[in-house]
Structure 1
């Protein structure tokens, strides 16, 4: 494959998005694993603007860590929040609408693997710079300075992305981009998507899927040494990546019907996550009775709480992989998927924000765990209705014979997009 051709391939777009995720949210996740602390169309290049906020936030953490500046943290968080909103809308459209249906699960795993690699690299940096710090407290300010420098490289990478109409799928099918519309029309379509039965029933689980992040970050800060927190950041990235890769291949497997993969995938990710919260509740109850301080890898009983955190992060990544895959089966078309993923990322970020708000107060970690378990369990009930209603459909094929014998509607394309495909043909 020629260099120019590869640059236009879906794989190349996923790798570029992966590197941006590694440098941006991946390193941001590494920060939070330490316990430290829009536009709807990809052709609007919102991903470029969306890369700007991560390094600003890390710079604010560095300033606070070294000089105690607090106002910059608030400003950095606001800038990062706005930037991340733009980033997620564009990123979601790319990672879901660019790949063929048959490869969507593994491409999602590739993207999550890159994002987790950011946490892996960040964890390695954290561990290398803080390996001698067996006490509690803050990490070395040099750690955050390295993050600022690395995150700044996300911006130039965004310019390498190919526009959707120029991207080449391996099976020859086109990426259909709907015509530009007014902001008012986009808001109407977004509201319409949010109030459909399929998406509306999923909103609670979107909220609950990242609600655990604030608790997980506080759990490390309260009970573990600096170098143990760095090790947790490093190992959870490895376990999360491996789990998502195998899970992604299962979600794409042609040995099972799509309906079967959706249902079994739900049990493997969301079911295990539910059971895990029972373990979290038991561990947190023990820590509430006798709070440990500065648990280190040489401390007695270190493995119980540490292992629980690793599993929480690992299965949490599987839940993310699953929800993205599920959204990809509900809608087609760049704009439609962008609205779906925008709702997923927006609502889950709202949950994450609420979680950090609770965890940053003096609220009991045990009751925070109870709230997480209740929120998550209640959110599963409406989600089951959408998941069990997913219908089987014929997936896109690279075979010309299949392409000739199947209409656009038969492969699951919405009518208005099918009409555009016929017009182009």
Structure 2
């Protein structure tokens, strides 16, 4: 739902600058929270972490609605900061579940499954907005959109508890996701510091930084070019584009008849070519207008979808989101190829979202001071292109499998007594109970 509102441009409002300021605060807090969110997830477990993480979304949406009704600017900025911290918790828990629960052969498709569900929310949210706005010619989004989204968002606080904890999950090959006891805060801090000594995390910094950088620019031109109902249509189509992109990257990384490293390298090449093709077209389109333009292609803006000039830019924005999904899918697949350890992957997910948010802070900050659209588009493209060689370097270090060095434990080994298991402190259950829960889960 949050992505659907974002896809409307400026959070559905007409004040792009205020939206940029709120988003800069949001991603600034997200950046700070992201570094520790993975460790918090490892201590609290994914269900509690995810539930806490969802609370900020409905508050932020309420602040957008309040601004529409009363023009209350400070509440929107404050809610953005709160959402930044809570979202860092949500995404750390999500990343840990998505990257550590599946078998190695399914990690690309695990991203696809998540991203399709994630973007289905965007798609449904945009469809709700489009249905409500269908006959509207207002420049901004109506109250009914905010009410519908608020109701849906509030349900997530409870529904997140349906997620299985790691110690209750057995993979399809009979291996256990996690039997270790949760680390103490002191131990978790030590492991967190160790992560920054890994050269691969340093090498992936540009990719992580670039992975959300383009949203500010894309949201700004959406708000500038289209009226309210057309922005709802754009949001719906970009959700569809994201689903297509996630299927492309998931298929390449899991289905092609190559070794794991070669599949990842092919995926990297495909994403690079898509990026150059789409952003090349986007830069060409951007040379046709500036922030000060009141007409584009000979027609006064904002456009409605019935205007023939709107078709090309709508397809371009749809294509941007295909690239977005493939780029982020490649980033997640690269991380998940480095280890199967759920604790390590939670820290990586938090680090990824933290650095990603730092890029978004810079991006929305640039847009807030009215940086030229062309400059924003070129920087977004350049950051992505620079990240590919470093990603390839990391992918060359990927092992054919991590099972040989991490020694996964099977259910049969635990039940036969061949493996001794420490109690799981998060849920205060003994080893036999943990295994029984895993077997019943299978």
Same fold (TM over 0.5): yes
Name the residue aligned to 1:225. 227
Name the residue aligned to 2:8. 34
Query: Aligned ranges for residues 194-205 of structure 1 at < 5 Å?
Result: 194-205=196-207
Name the residue aligned to 1:109. 112
- The reply to whether residue 340 of structure 1 matches residue 358 of structure 2 is no
Which runs of 5 or more structure 1 residues have no equivalent in the other structure? 1-26, 395-407
Name the residue aligned to 1:308. 316
Distance (Å, rounded) in 2 between the aligned partners of 1:224 and 1:157: 35
Name the residue aligned to 2:50. 47
- Describe the SS at the equivalent of 2:45: helix
Query: Aligned ranges for residues 174-323 of structure 1 at < 5 Å?
Result: 174-253=176-255, 255-288=257-290, 291-292=295-296, 293-323=301-331
CA deviation map 1:221-259 (0-9, x unaligned): 011121111111111112221331243133212622111
Say whether the 8 Å CA contact 2:176–2:408 is kept in structure 1. no
Distance (Å, rounded) in 1 between the aligned partners of 2:115 and 2:352: 15
Are the structure 2 counterparts of residues 171 and 416 from structure 1 closer, same or farther at C-alpha, using a change threshold of 3 Å?
closer
Name the residue aligned to 2:376. 368
Q: Kindly state the Cα deviation for residue 335 of structure 1 after the two structures are TM-superposed.
A: 0.5
Deviates more, 1:224-233 or 1:290-299: 290-299
Distance (Å, rounded) in 2 between the aligned partners of 1:350 and 1:270: 23
Q: Kindly state the Cα deviation for residue 177 of structure 1 after the two structures are TM-superposed.
A: 4.8
- Describe the SS at the equivalent of 2:10: coil
Name the residue aligned to 2:97. 94
Are the structure 2 counterparts of residues 270 and 153 from structure 1 closer, same or farther at C-alpha, using a change threshold of 3 Å?
farther
- Describe the SS at the equivalent of 1:145: helix
Name the residue aligned to 1:74. 77
Say whether the 8 Å CA contact 1:92–1:337 is kept in structure 2. yes
Distance (Å, rounded) in 2 between the aligned partners of 1:264 and 1:167: 31
- The reply to whether residue 389 of structure 1 matches residue 405 of structure 2 is no
Q: Kindly state the Cα deviation for residue 190 of structure 1 after the two structures are TM-superposed.
A: 2.2
Deviates more, 1:281-290 or 1:159-168: 281-290
Say whether the 8 Å CA contact 2:248–2:326 is kept in structure 1. no
Q: Kindly state the Cα deviation for residue 385 of structure 1 after the two structures are TM-superposed.
A: 1.4
Distance (Å, rounded) in 1 between the aligned partners of 2:94 and 2:339: 16
CA deviation map 1:85-142 (0-9, x unaligned): 111111111111111112222121111001001110111011111122345x211122
Distance (Å, rounded) in 2 between the aligned partners of 1:414 and 1:201: 27
- The reply to whether residue 62 of structure 1 matches residue 65 of structure 2 is yes
Say whether the 8 Å CA contact 1:296–1:302 is kept in structure 2. yes
Q: Kindly state the Cα deviation for residue 144 of structure 1 after the two structures are TM-superposed.
A: 1.2
Deviates more, 1:351-360 or 1:311-320: 351-360
Are the structure 2 counterparts of residues 313 and 332 from structure 1 closer, same or farther at C-alpha, using a change threshold of 3 Å?
same
Deviates more, 1:214-223 or 1:253-262: 253-262
Distance (Å, rounded) in 2 between the aligned partners of 1:154 and 1:46: 12
Deviates more, 1:250-259 or 1:323-332: 250-259
Are the structure 2 counterparts of residues 424 and 103 from structure 1 closer, same or farther at C-alpha, using a change threshold of 3 Å?
farther
Question: How many residues are treated as equivalent by the alignment?
Answer: 381
Distance (Å, rounded) in 1 between the aligned partners of 2:407 and 2:216: 38
Distance (Å, rounded) in 1 between the aligned partners of 2:351 and 2:104: 21
Deviates more, 1:314-323 or 1:241-250: 241-250
Say whether the 8 Å CA contact 1:283–1:304 is kept in structure 2. no
Distance (Å, rounded) in 1 between the aligned partners of 2:148 and 2:283: 36
- Describe the SS at the equivalent of 1:206: helix
- The reply to whether residue 380 of structure 1 matches residue 388 of structure 2 is yes
The CA RMSD measured in Å over matched residues stands at 2.3
Distance (Å, rounded) in 1 between the aligned partners of 2:211 and 2:110: 21
- Describe the SS at the equivalent of 1:132: coil
Which runs of 5 or more structure 2 residues have no equivalent in the other structure? 12-36, 422-442
Q: Kindly state the Cα deviation for residue 173 of structure 1 after the two structures are TM-superposed.
A: 0.7
Q: Kindly state the Cα deviation for residue 31 of structure 1 after the two structures are TM-superposed.
A: 0.7
Q: Kindly state the Cα deviation for residue 346 of structure 1 after the two structures are TM-superposed.
A: 1.5
Say whether the 8 Å CA contact 2:211–2:327 is kept in structure 1. yes
- Describe the SS at the equivalent of 1:389: coil
